[in-house]
Chains A and B, each alone.
Chain A
Amino acid sequence: MSGQVLSVFSAVLRKDLRRELRSREIFISSFLFSVILLMVIFYASKTSGVQLEAMSSGALWLCILFSGTIGLNRTHQSEMVNGCYRALILAPVEGGWLYLAKVCSNALLLIVMELLLLPLLVLFYHTDIGKNSGALLAALVLGTLAFTAVGTLVVVITANTRMKDVLFPVVQLPLVVPTLIAGVNATEAALQGKTADNWLQFLVAVNVVFLAAGFLLYDFLLEE
């Protein structure tokens, strides 16, 4: 990777994170939504008598799915304000690097949110997150990266359609199903202290496929 590419990559990443740190608009709404979701599942499980600990990985990935979808949509909408996306289109850089930077900034925000949700899982769902913390962290990082790799691509595809707010989750959901299945299983295995290698390898493969597709297609999709 040449110095110039790194410079562009870090410029986009820093710009996205600085904007979010300043406005906190996307992070706060996504986090609060996740907390509400965790609480709803907590009370539903209490009344139905379902074992809470068994619900924790599913609940966590539900939060990632819904909050991530909201967050990705809003991140892209903020790029549309003032026609900022046009500055990106007109820049003499490969769109692939812009895509990777956007995936990283989206994933980073989502991972921070997940790390803040973990104590809530411990508190309310009595989850022991220390049994295989390395695998848990790997599952969350790889799963989130795959999720945002798909989402960052799909949100650009649906951005210029009339029903973009409806179309984005509808198109995104089938594409993130493999990530969700692998993410839930890898997280579950890690929380039980088991090895999650197979699921983690699957997540690596999903990442490679979607990141490569995004890198190659982003320029074309951004311009269209």
Chain B
Amino acid sequence: MTLSIRFHELSKQFGETIALWRVSEAIEPGDRISILGHNGAGKSTLLHMLATLSKPSSGELTFSLAGETCDDVKKLRDHLSFLSHEPMLYPDLTALENLRFINRLYQRNLSEDALRELLDKVGMSDFGDRLFRTCSRGMQQRLSLARALLPQPKLLFLDEPFSGLDRGGVERMKALFADDQMSWVLVTHHLRLGYELANRFWILHRGRLLHSLQKRDLTYEAYIKLCEGSSMEASA
């Protein structure tokens, strides 16, 4: 089953503040999109709307499942997942208990071995019985990734997934993002990783989409120039 999203003149306002202004684009199966922009550019706002976590103030947002328009949010959510600043895991449950809960909440019926395998993929196989609140920031981020991957989404939304991760964690995450079965949209300030992993780039500035580019049309140097042109600081 394929999932695609089209949006036209999408805007979001919080009171008088315009967070996003008339943004139009599309996400197709196989897309790996990095959204770049300085703080307050509207990256997370856009991500939240695409992940069905908030509604646009105006504009059209159309989801298609297997080529047919789908308005059923619950049905859509069965195919997408979200990794944000917040881990969305319970502090008083262990890593495995958290995953078991998500497994049943999403009705995935993964076996205990599959859950342990997932922990292994994010480098947390030795910490399955550890309470989430006793895990370090980096470990929490790895578990959060396991939580996001557990439902085997068609489309994954990632908001600063590399924060708190050590080099090993970043490498594991990169390997997991290489999965061809999954499209993803990544918000990051990490310009080098944003370029390395994605095949498309959206550059936002003050709520507007400045550039939408394919990787094949863009060298790393040109990409950095564009990003810096939108007042970003390269962390590469």
Residue ID in chain B nearest A4 by CB atoms: B107
Size class of the A contact interface (CB-based, 8 Å): 20 to 34
Interfacial chain A residues near B74, Cβ < 8 Å: 92-94
What's the nearest-Cβ distance from chain A to residue B51, in Å? 7
Contact (Cβ within 8 A) B102 A87: yes
Not counting A15-B97, A83-B87, A93-B74, a sample of 11 additional A-B residue pairs whose C-beta atoms are within 8 angstroms of each other reads: A15-B90, A82-B87, A82-B89, A83-B86, A84-B90, A90-B77, A90-B81, A91-B77, A91-B106, A92-B78, A92-B106
Does B104 have its Cβ within 8 Å of any Cβ on chain A?
A: yes
Interfacial residues of chain B within 73-129, with CB under 8 A of chain A in the complex? 74-75, 77-78, 80-82, 84-93, 97, 101-102, 104-107
Residues in chain A within 8 A of chain B (CB atoms): 4, 7-8, 10-12, 15, 18-19, 22-23, 81-84, 86-94
Chain B residues lying within 8 Å of A84, measured Cβ to Cβ, are 88-90
A83/B104 contact (C-beta < 8 A), A18-B93, A19-B93, A93-B74 known: no
Q: A83-B84, A89-B53 are in contact. Are A8 and B107 (CB under 8 A)?
A: yes
Cβ-defined partner of A90 (8 Å) among B82, B90, B97: B82
A197 to B: closest C-beta gap in Å: 39
Question: A18 vs B90: C-alpha distance in the bound complex, in angstroms?
Answer: 11
Task: Kindly state whether residue B147 has any CB partner on chain A within 8 Å.
Answer: yes
Which residues of B sit under 8 angstroms from A81, Cβ to Cβ?
Answer: 90-91
* Nearest A residue (CB) for B97: A18
| Complex interface: chain B residues within 8 A of A83 (CB) | 84-88
Knowing A15-B90, A22-B92, A92-B106, the reply to whether A87 touches B147 (Cβ < 8 A) is yes
Say how far A219's CB is from chain B's closest CB, in angstroms: 9
Bound complex: CA of A115 vs CA of B178, how far in Å? 55
Contact A86 B88 (CB under 8 A): yes
In the complex, are the beta carbons of B77 and A86 less than 8 A apart?
no
Q: Check A82–B90 contact: CB distance below 8 A.
A: yes
**Chain A positions within 8 Å of B97 at CB level:** 15, 18
- Cα(A222)–Cα(B169), bound, Å: 33
**Smallest beta-carbon distance A84→chain B, Å:** 6
Interface string of B119-148 (1 = CB under 8 A from A): 000000000000010000000000000010
Is B77's CB under 8 angstroms from A92's CB? yes
Expressed in whole angstroms, the Cα–Cα distance for A82 and B51 within the complex equals 18
B85 partner residues in chain A, CB cutoff 8 A: 83
The chain B residue sitting closest to A11, CB to CB, is B104
A90 near B86 with CB under 8 A, answer no
User: From A12, which residue of chain B is reached at the shortest CB distance?
Assistant: B105
In angstroms, Cα B91 to Cα A47, docked, is 46
With A and B bound together, what is the CA distance between A154 and B55 in angstroms? Answer: 22
CB contacts (< 8 Å) of A15 on chain B: these are: 90, 93, 97, 101
> What A residues does B90 contact at CB under 8 A?
15, 19, 81-82, 84
Contact between chains at A82 and B106 (CB < 8 Å):
no
A residues near B106, Cβ cutoff 8 Å = 91-92
Pair B88/A93 contact, Cβ less than 8 Å: no
Given contacts A90-B81, A92-B77, A92-B78, contact A8 B89 (CB under 8 A): no
Whose C-beta in chain A lies nearest to the C-beta of B86?
A83
B78 closest partner in A (C-beta): A92
Contact of B86 among A10, A22, A82, A93 (CB under 8 A): A82
Interchain CA distance A90-B80 in the complex, whole Å: 9
Residues facing A in B164-180 (CB within 8 A) are none
- Whether the pair B104, A7 counts as a contact (CB closer than 8 A) is yes
* Smallest beta-carbon distance A2→chain B, Å: 10
CA of A82 to CA of B101, assembled, Å: 15
* Best-buried of A10, A87, A94 by chain B (most CB within 10 Å): A87
Chain B proximity of A143: nearest CB distance (Å) = 29
Report A-chain residues with C-beta under 8 Å of the C-beta of B84: 83, 86
Roughly how many angstroms separate A101 CA and B77 CA in the complex, as a whole number?
Answer: 21
A18 to B97, CA, bound (A): 10
